[in-house]
Amino acid sequence: MDFIVFPGQGSQKIGMGKELSKNFAEAREVFEEVNDALNLNLTKIMWEGSDSEISLTYNAQPSLMACGVAAFRVLSKIKTKNITQLANYTCGHSLGEYTAMTVAQVFSLKECAILLRLRGEAMQKAVPVGKGAMAALIGININQTKEIIEKAKIRGICDIGNDNADGQVVISGDAKAVENAIEIAKNYGAKRAILLPVSAPFHCRLMEPARVIMEEALNNLKFNAPLIPIISNITALPHTDPVILKNNLIDQVTGTVRWRETMEFAKNKGIKKITELGSGKVLTGIAKRMVKDIASESFENSEDFDAFL
């Protein structure tokens, strides 16, 4: 049994996908379709822009999705297998869940690109710059984190944004509350507690304005049943019902990304291999730390595919 996973924001970098586009027609077609869908030369930003440009949420989200879909299509071509033959489940971290739904044919590549551009804009506008923050707490477990944010909330909203792995939790909310939580975490023996260089506090209640926008957009879109089950960020469980998949994406805007539990699900299900497709190797690194008995691999460029062949 196999998992295919797709990265989230933070894995973006200038040049991502360029080499794959140059060497594989399947990848090139994905990037061209995303450019056309957005009526924007996104690949120029991806390949020739600045780090600050590509890190803008509304650029990063469709760019990362495009790289994930491109890598998937190349893998599918090389192995001459469709997604039902390549994996038993698919999922992605935050925006990566949209990528997973695209390759599982819940909605089209064009629809996904437009959704993620809208999602990025909505999330960016939801909170004034400087009002929100996110921080990584390293060496703190989920129960300790819950205690910390309970104490920190006297300064404002503070939620668990990402439960990434054992001892790796990201909190999100009002800047003053998050900064307070960082100080409290030190008393809990955190190895590190650091603010993250993000433009908005994702996956917390401050994202409610973005959730409302995405609810309207997603309700206006036809969801198909996926070709394979999607593991949801919000439940850490597999789903195939289009209505549930849609509601999970809506709830995901303000809810916690439960990646640690997703990896535990993989282990409990007897998954043999986790394949990360797209930019970077963040999820591969988490898998290697959390589920050492499961083989993990990542495909980002031609060298990765050559090594596989």
Mean per-residue pLDDT, 169-191:
95
SS3 90: strand
Range of the domain at 162: 132-198
Examine the fold and report which residue of 150, 165, 198 is the final residue of a domain before the chain moves on: 198
Q: 31 and 96: one domain?
A: yes
Q: What CATH number is given to the structural domain containing 165?
A: 3.30.70.250
Same domain, 118 and 149: no
Domain final residue pick, 179, 198, 217 = 198
Alpha-carbon distance 39 to 189, whole Å?
Answer: 49
Higher local confidence (pLDDT), 305 or 70: 70
What would the pLDDT profile of 103-114 be if each residue is shown by its tens digit?
A: 999 999 999 999
Q: Which CATH number belongs to the domain containing residue 304 in this structure? A: 3.40.366.10
pLDDT for the residue numbered 308? 63
Q: Are residues 87 and 149 in the same domain?
A: no
If one compares 292 and 212, the residue with the highest pLDDT of the two is: 212
Residue where the block lists tokens 């949801």: 232
Tell me which of 173 and 200 has the higher pLDDT: 173
How far apart CA 107 and CA 223 sit, in angstroms, is 6
Confidence check: pLDDT of 141 > 90: yes
Between CA 78 and CA 89 the distance in angstroms is 20
Q: Which pLDDT band holds residue 199 (cuts at 50, 70, 90)?
A: confident
Catalytic annotation present for 239: no
Residues 168 and 224 in one domain: no
Residues 91 and 62 in one domain: yes
**CA 84 to mean position of chain CA atoms:** 22
Q: What gap in Å lies between CA 56 and CA 14, rounded to an integer?
A: 12
Residue 248 pLDDT: 97
- At which of 173, 198, 223 does a domain end? 198
Q: Poorest-confidence range of 26-35, 43-52, 103-112, 193-202? A: 193-202
Catalytic residue among 11, 172, 203, 279: 203
How confident is the model over 235-269, as pLDDT tens digits?
Answer: 999 999 999 999 999 999 999 999 999 999 999 99
pLDDT confidence of residue 301:
85
Same structural domain, 210 and 97: yes
Are 108 and 76 within one domain? yes
| Same domain as 102, residue 48 | yes
Domain co-membership, 120 together with 146: no
Task: Give the three-class secondary structure for 209.
Answer: helix
The pLDDT score that the predictor gives to residue 10 is: 87
- Strands of the 192-195 sheet, one edge to the other: 158-165, 168-174, 132-138, 192-195
Residues 26 and 85 in one domain: yes
- Residue 309 pLDDT grade (very low, low, confident, very high; cuts 50, 70, 90): low
Both 55 and 114 in one domain: the answer is yes
Active site residue 94: yes
Instruction: Output the pTM of the full model.
Output: 0.96
Q: Which of the residues 11, 94, 172, 199 is marked catalytic? A: 94
Q: Are 111 and 221 contained in the same domain? A: yes
Provide the domain count of the chain.
Answer: 2
Residue 139 makes CB contacts below 8 A (sequence gap 6+) with 167, 189, 190, 191, 192
